Chains A and B, each alone.
Chain A
Amino acid sequence: MDLRFGDSKPTDEERAAVDALLGPPASAWEGADDRTDTDLRWARGGREARERRDLLLPGLHALNDRVGWISEGGLAYLCRRLTVPPAEGYGVATFYAMFAVKPRPATVVHVCTDLACAARGSARVCTKIERDLGPAGSAGSGAVWQPSPCLGLCERAPAALVIRAGEAPRTAVVAPATAEAVADAATAPHEAAAEPQAAAAAPQARTPAAQPAQAGTSAALPAPTPAPRPSRASGQASGQASGQASGQASGQTANAVARTGSSAPGSALAAPEAGRDGLVLLRRVGVVDPGSLDDYRAHGGYAALRRAFALGPAGVIREVTEAGLVGRGGAAFPTGRKWAATAQQPDHPHYLVCNADESEPGTFKDRVLMEGDPYALVEAMTIAGYATGAHRGYLYLRGEYPRALRRLRTAIDRARARGLLGEDVMGQGFAFDIEIRRGAGAYICGEETAIFNSIEGRRGEPRSKPPFPVEKGLFGKPTAVNNVETLVNVLPILIEGAQGYARTGTSASTGTKLFCVSGTVARPGVYELPFGATLRELLELAGPPKTLRAVLLGGAAGAFVRPDELDVPLTFEGTRAAGATLGSGVVLVLDDSVELPRVLLRIAEFFRDESCGQCVPCRVGTVRQEEALHRIKDLTGDAAAGDIALLREVGRAMRDASICGLGQTAWNAVESAIDRLGAFK
């Protein structure tokens, strides 16, 4: 390698941010200021330095968190520290929407303009914000705002996320957002009103009116326990966690109490309406204190891991296979088969990747799980690692989920401190640890191979398959990659046994499913229903609009369903037979006030923005799709027919010839709107 780093120097702040993550530079070769005689004789680095490439993304986060953007000097220093060619470092930095390589104010406001928020008035909010802060992207009054793809806060739409860089970076979620509240949060993100409890997003969850236990523990939240490898953990955890956790947590409790007391009449009542209190995946959300390991154990936590150790890895895989669990991320691949295929690979080490890059517009179930019951994910990942023979799990969390990040960090640190992660989990001689990696605003990184490239410090571009992840995944090693909801399902499987678990649901879709209901319903939120319930039953729970126009099932990559198709059973096989998909469980409800062509245009915009640009059908096809929808947004009948024919041709090529699922599904929703809803007729 012949690296050339240029002359630009980092500022002291940038250097400190990178050094906090990587430790001080060992020699002038790594960017230390003083060159010693030894340095001149002995060039350290080589393979060992290059093997730290995967710290590039955390390093970019460190710079962006500290100064709000990534300067030439900062990037050059980071690249020098990690022996990454600057051109590649730049290529990675420019791949992610949350990073900027041009100067911008420390405060960045992301205002969601995606489907669910648009259905609840994000356009009005944007117009007002534009008046306050100036046009999107322009730096007015110390803050810059930008429209954002779905922030995963659809139950409280419209939503905004404020991020302020600094030594202790601050984040504030404003949802439901008004222009005034956003402006306030942008000036003082640390004073912004706390988010309601995660359980408020799950209308079925029973939120106790008062939670003395939680108030006690969370107010006393200590700083996260230092991880065994200080160089990695300290930089990631510094500032964000310690500064915010205690202040915000106490506020949260107060807010949650206020909310259950007054503002959310239906939220706590939805479960009784369902006629059962047998929530499985959500049963602890809103019930346990998400910061307390003891509380988690008191509510049945870690019983599944104990059972897993009793069964042995093969036994766990057998249970999961017999339970019929299939992936909940959208592809519905049998989890047991994936695990078995990973476990039997002769190549080592094996890795586990938890895909928590929940970015499908309208999806927020994983956020609710992670915020409301973080230890469940930690336990489930430990079980998955045990079954697949992995000793390291990467939790790839979407960058727009600050609260989930704090809660998971706390959970992992506490589990480690108690011997539930680490060299000897539960004294069983099994070593397993979890590392959180933050995404930085790229939908495509939720693709199962793009996620590997992103973790490895490369551009989050999907790889072509074969080889499949179970053979060559993360770092080229056998890897099992699972969605959050999929993993959490493993706990009830082990506790109830495969047969017990499979009794719920249908024969081809076992268990329960989380549905993210958003749009024009009375009680948006995450609903847990056994597979087999119909769309109508789900909508009844959430309070459907008077005049339903359509339901988008499965998200932007999913399909529209008509009001006369509400009896479709919400199972993988049922939706498939109806020509739709469950996808990641998005149920976006649109009433007749919605202008369908605008919704389609927004979906097309989303795919154009989020295409990685690697393959031609998707890179150019998504642009042509958007252009055509733009041309016909006010047209119908014959006037639109030519462009619809064009859309069909482009859509077919995207579906057939794109490398990954993004391009392959980018035309699904538009096609279904044309064919099933008669859009443009």
Chain B
Amino acid sequence: MTAIPLRPPRRLVDLTLDGEPVRAPEGSTLLDACRAAGKDVPTLCQGDTLTPKNACRVCVVEVEGSRTLAPACSRRVEPGMEVRTDTERARHSRKVVLELLASSTDLSTTPGAAEWIEEYGAEPDRFGAEAARVAEEPKVDNDLYVRDYSKCVLCYKCVDACGEQWQNTFAIAVAGRGFDARISTEHDAPLTDSACVYCGNCVEVCPTGALSFKTEFDMRAAGTWDESAQTETTTVCAYCGVGCNLTLHVQDNEIVKVTSPHDNPVTHGNLCIKGRFGYQHVQNHAQNQD
């Protein structure tokens, strides 16, 4: 039986979305309203289990009467709002933001990026070959996960998941300023010297693959990572009595990564080190036993 949390009833707010009248529950965001109306807006720093930081600005929409564009992921609906999601102005900003991102960071493992770049006609190459990039070597400092900040778009999701929104570990934060800002431990120490507890919840929320499981990182390097050949099986973690759901991603009869369903009322997508990384015993083959 799944527990369905009851929320107090919410009033509906009337607004206009691309000329069509729609109703959205009070307190919901423009993005919620868009999605309910079947319109999608690209998002990077928005996550279904986190409060968005609205830092990436790819979800901007035009709100009548507002001097600047508004981030759909965090602007709340207001009665009488007139919102347009697909104007030239909004599309222009999205296009440029995608160009800025793709010209400075490696979006090759970002789901959706290639499609958006095509959809908006973005040309990341036009800033020239000399354009500054976030040039960072992948940080491989532990056996469980890898941090490749050349793929990081600074969406703050990992920081929020590590910190006050989920894990309360605060092992990482944003350090530096401007283009030199990076996600970092204190004094850029290796994770093994930090407060990290290897829950992997930062990996769970990373939208670009900057954070990835060591298994995935190695398989990508070896060219064997193939998502189309993977099956997903959701089960219950056997380590303790909480009853977290685990989704096992299996390729060639090997568990290659473990996630948790974001809509699960127990985990909200979060796990601990045991559920996330403690699966080796399942595939403790003879060849691994030396």
Q: Which residues of A contact B (CB under 8 A)?
A: 1-4, 6, 72, 75-76, 85-91, 94-95, 97, 101, 442, 459, 464, 466, 608-617, 619-624, 627-628, 631, 646, 649-650, 652-653, 655-659, 664
Chain A residues, CB < 8 A from B154: 613-614, 616, 619
Q: Whole-angstrom distance between the alpha carbons of A650 and B181 in the complex? A: 20
Q: Whole-angstrom distance between the alpha carbons of A479 and B185 in the complex? A: 33
Chain A residues, CB < 8 A from B103: 620, 624
Closest to B134 in A: A620
Closest to B156 in A: A614
| A649 engages B130 (CB within 8 Å) | no
| A617 engages B186 (CB within 8 Å) | no
| Interface 1/0 per residue, B131-168 and A, CB below 8 Å | 11000000000000000000001100000000100001
Chain A residues, CB < 8 A from B71: 464
Q: Whole-angstrom distance between the alpha carbons of A611 and B185 in the complex? A: 21
| B170 engages A646 (CB within 8 Å) | no
Q: Whole-angstrom distance between the alpha carbons of A92 and B78 in the complex? A: 35
In the assembled complex, the CB of B147 is this many whole angstroms from the nearest CB of chain A, namely 13
| B100 engages A621 (CB within 8 Å) | yes
Closest to A8 in B: B187
In the assembled complex, the CB of A419 is this many whole angstroms from the nearest CB of chain B, namely 42
CB of B68 closer than 8 Å to a CB of A? yes
For this complex, 6 residue pairs linking A to B, each with C-beta atoms less than 8 Å apart, are: A87-B175, A88-B163, A613-B178, A627-B128, A628-B127, A649-B92
Among B189-197, B233-241, B246-254, B272-280, the one that faces the other chain is B189-197
| A90 engages B104 (CB within 8 Å) | no
Given A3-B170, A464-B71 in contact, is the A617-B175 Cβ separation under 8 Å?
A: no
| B54 engages A464 (CB within 8 Å) | yes
Chain B residues, CB < 8 A from A652: 92-93, 96
Specify the main secondary structure of chain A where it touches its partner.
helix
Q: Whole-angstrom distance between the alpha carbons of A447 and B259 in the complex? A: 40
Closest to B76 in A: A466
Q: Which residues of B contact A (CB under 8 A)?
A: 53-58, 60, 68-69, 71, 74, 76, 89, 92-93, 95-97, 100-101, 103-104, 126-128, 130-132, 153-154, 163, 168-181, 184-187, 189, 193-195, 197
Chain B residues, CB < 8 A from A612: 177-178, 181
Q: Whole-angstrom distance between the alpha carbons of A71 and B175 in the complex? A: 15
| B60 engages A657 (CB within 8 Å) | yes
| B174 engages A608 (CB within 8 Å) | no
| A613 engages B68 (CB within 8 Å) | no
| B92 engages A4 (CB within 8 Å) | no
In the assembled complex, the CB of B110 is this many whole angstroms from the nearest CB of chain A, namely 13
Selected from B95, B168, B184, B187, the residue in CB contact (under 8 A) with A72 is: B187
Q: Whole-angstrom distance between the alpha carbons of A628 and B130 in the complex? A: 10
| B93 engages A653 (CB within 8 Å) | yes
Chain A residues, CB < 8 A from B53: 614
| A615 engages B104 (CB within 8 Å) | no
Chain B residues, CB < 8 A from A646: 126-127
Given A616-B55, A616-B97, A619-B181 in contact, is the A87-B171 Cβ separation under 8 Å?
A: yes
Q: A75-B186, A611-B178 are in contact. List 17 more A-B contacts (CB 8 A).
A: A2-B195, A4-B195, A6-B193, A72-B186, A76-B186, A87-B170, A87-B173, A90-B187, A94-B175, A94-B176, A94-B177, A608-B178, A616-B56, A616-B153, A620-B103, A646-B126, A653-B95
| B57 engages A90 (CB within 8 Å) | no
Q: Whole-angstrom distance between the alpha carbons of A516 and B189 in the complex? A: 45
Closest to A4 in B: B195
Q: Whole-angstrom distance between the alpha carbons of A140 and B117 in the complex? A: 49
Q: Whole-angstrom distance between the alpha carbons of A611 and B36 in the complex? A: 35
In the assembled complex, the CB of B180 is this many whole angstroms from the nearest CB of chain A, namely 7
| A659 engages B54 (CB within 8 Å) | yes
Q: Whole-angstrom distance between the alpha carbons of A621 and B103 in the complex? A: 11
| A95 engages B177 (CB within 8 Å) | yes
| B178 engages A615 (CB within 8 Å) | no
Closest to B54 in A: A464
| A655 engages B68 (CB within 8 Å) | yes
Given A88-B170, A621-B100, A627-B132 in contact, is the A615-B181 Cβ separation under 8 Å?
A: no
In the assembled complex, the CB of A306 is this many whole angstroms from the nearest CB of chain B, namely 41
Closest to A652 in B: B92
Closest to A442 in B: B177
Q: Whole-angstrom distance between the alpha carbons of A617 and B178 in the complex? A: 11
Q: Whole-angstrom distance between the alpha carbons of A385 and B172 in the complex? A: 38
Chain A residues, CB < 8 A from B186: 6, 72, 75-76, 86-87, 89-90
Selected from B101, B104, B178, the residue in CB contact (under 8 A) with A609 is: B178
Chain B residues, CB < 8 A from A659: 54-55, 57
| A650 engages B173 (CB within 8 Å) | no
Q: Whole-angstrom distance between the alpha carbons of A87 and B96 in the complex? A: 32
Selected from A609, A621, A649, A658, the residue in CB contact (under 8 A) with B68 is: A658
Chain B residues, CB < 8 A from A95: 175-177
Q: Whole-angstrom distance between the alpha carbons of A111 and B29 in the complex? A: 47
Q: Whole-angstrom distance between the alpha carbons of A616 and B102 in the complex? A: 11
In the assembled complex, the CB of B71 is this many whole angstroms from the nearest CB of chain A, namely 7
Q: Whole-angstrom distance between the alpha carbons of A657 and B103 in the complex? A: 18
| B55 engages A4 (CB within 8 Å) | no
Q: Whole-angstrom distance between the alpha carbons of A624 and B100 in the complex? A: 8
Chain A residues, CB < 8 A from B56: 615-616
| A101 engages B187 (CB within 8 Å) | yes
| A617 engages B168 (CB within 8 Å) | no
Chain B residues, CB < 8 A from A608: 178-179
Chain A residues, CB < 8 A from B163: 85, 88
Given A464-B71, A617-B97 in contact, is the A627-B168 Cβ separation under 8 Å?
A: no
Closest to A651 in B: B96
| B68 engages A657 (CB within 8 Å) | yes
| B177 engages A657 (CB within 8 Å) | no
Q: Whole-angstrom distance between the alpha carbons of A459 and B92 in the complex? A: 30
Q: Whole-angstrom distance between the alpha carbons of A3 and B89 in the complex? A: 45
Chain A residues, CB < 8 A from B176: 94-95, 613
Chain A residues, CB < 8 A from B126: 646
| B132 engages A623 (CB within 8 Å) | yes
Closest to A1 in B: B168
Q: Whole-angstrom distance between the alpha carbons of A3 and B189 in the complex? A: 15
Q: Whole-angstrom distance between the alpha carbons of A76 and B194 in the complex? A: 12
| B93 engages A617 (CB within 8 Å) | yes
In the assembled complex, the CB of B181 is this many whole angstroms from the nearest CB of chain A, namely 3
Chain A residues, CB < 8 A from B95: 653
Closest to B96 in A: A653
Selected from B57, B130, B174, the residue in CB contact (under 8 A) with A613 is: B174
| A90 engages B60 (CB within 8 Å) | no
